[in-house]
Amino acid sequence: MRDQLVLGIESSCDETSAALLLGETEILGHVILSQDIHRVYGGVVPELAARAHLAVIDDVADEVMRQAEVSLGDIDAFGVTVGPGLIGALLVGVCWTKAIAFGLGRPLVPVHHMEAHLFAPSIEDPEAVPPFVTLLASGGHTLLLHATEWGQYRLLGETRDDAAGEAFDKVAKLLELPYPGGPEVEAVARDGDASRYSFPRPMLRGDQALGDASYFDFSFSGLKTAVAQEVQAVKEIGALEAERTHLAASFQEAAIDVLVTKTMRAVDATGCQRVLLGGGVAANQALRSEMGRRLGPRGHLFHASTRLSLDNGAMVARCAVFRLDRGDVAEGNLGADASLPFPGLSISED
């Protein structure tokens, strides 16, 4: 029996993406179309995002078909992100995929956006499989998990307020950098002196111990506030232009220190020295470098390429392959859920 051909559709935020995956690793066609309109507003406008998805989803899917030299009738199954995300944006992808799948009589597989990020590295690296400790960091989520096998995840920690990616975007706006802010902060920070400003490491104290409620959890609101106060002081003396790179570098170092330290706590607590980075923040080269340095030769670090770290249809298709094999196929009443729970997730008792 040949490997199945699966189309993955992603529309949870401001990327309209489709990908055709043959089996678990062979990408036959892949398109990611980002929405530039949000740069005008310094952040994603949900209504505009939904309208933009609706305007281009046909063209995105058609281009993937052209790249792969197949037709919709050749596809064996369809996967689509059903949540979490912006409800209007999600509904565009869900409704489009549901109509096509049921019209052709093909299986429709609902996919959780963050679980899809877990699968992204495995498309490029066959070793990127559980068990591993995983840090999932994006614009809307920061999760620390222990994955013992695909579909079985133990939640160790999560953010109590802002997600890591959201903090990067907000700091970028404070520094008067374009949206999306994460890549902009990273680029500017390369020329900065991270020791120029001493920013707090929220929920990271030396007296914390395994079993404390805050041991694995994250918080970025205090860090964002500290940066905002410093930026305001710098603006008052007309020095933002001169200090921008240093502010960016100091913020980034503080955020990465928290992310890496919490992840290394999870490595020590679980005894699992295999770490997987997922989500848009995983594209940050400084984060990858520091995580690899702290993990050292004792462990193994996995992450996807930059393209597959961002929201994309290939990761949706890969997750759909796994879910399809388990028989997780949707009925005709499939909808979208902006706060969809993570599948297979159990809460750590530590």
Please count the residues of the chain: 350
User: Is the residue at 80 inside a domain?
Assistant: yes
Same domain as 106, residue 43: yes
Q: Judge whether residue 350 has pLDDT over 80.
A: no
User: Does one domain contain both 57 and 158?
Assistant: no
Q: In this structure, what DSSP letter does residue 84 have?
A: S
338 vs 86: CA distance, rounded Å: 6
Q: What is the pLDDT of residues 156-215, one digit of tens each?
A: 999 999 999 999 999 999 999 998 899 999 999 999 999 999 999 998 888 888 988 899
Within this chain, do residues 102 and 229 fall inside the same structural domain, yes or no? no
Cα 184 to chain centroid distance, Å, stands at 17
**Tokens 């890496």, residue?**
260
- Strand 152-158 to strand 345-347: parallel, antiparallel, or no bridges (unpaired)? parallel
Count of structural domains, the chain: 2
Model pLDDT for residues 274-315, shown as the tens digit of each residue: 999 999 999 999 999 999 999 998 899 999 999 999 999 999
Domain match, 237 and 318 both: no
- CATH code at 290? 3.30.420.40
Contact status, residue 284 vs residue 304, Cβ threshold 8 Å: no
Task: Identify the CA nearest to 279 among candidates 141, 87, 127, 168.
Answer: 141
- Asked whether residue 122 is assigned to any structural domain, the reply reads no
| Torsion, Cα of 246, 247, 252, 254 (10° steps) | 110
Give the closest residue to 115 by CA, choosing from 274, 285, 321. Answer: 321
Domain that holds residue 52: 5-117+309-347
Edge-to-edge strands of the sheet including 108-112? 26-34, 15-22, 5-10, 77-83, 108-112
Angle between helices 221-236 and 240-270 (to 10 degrees): 160
Q: 141 with 9, same domain?
A: no
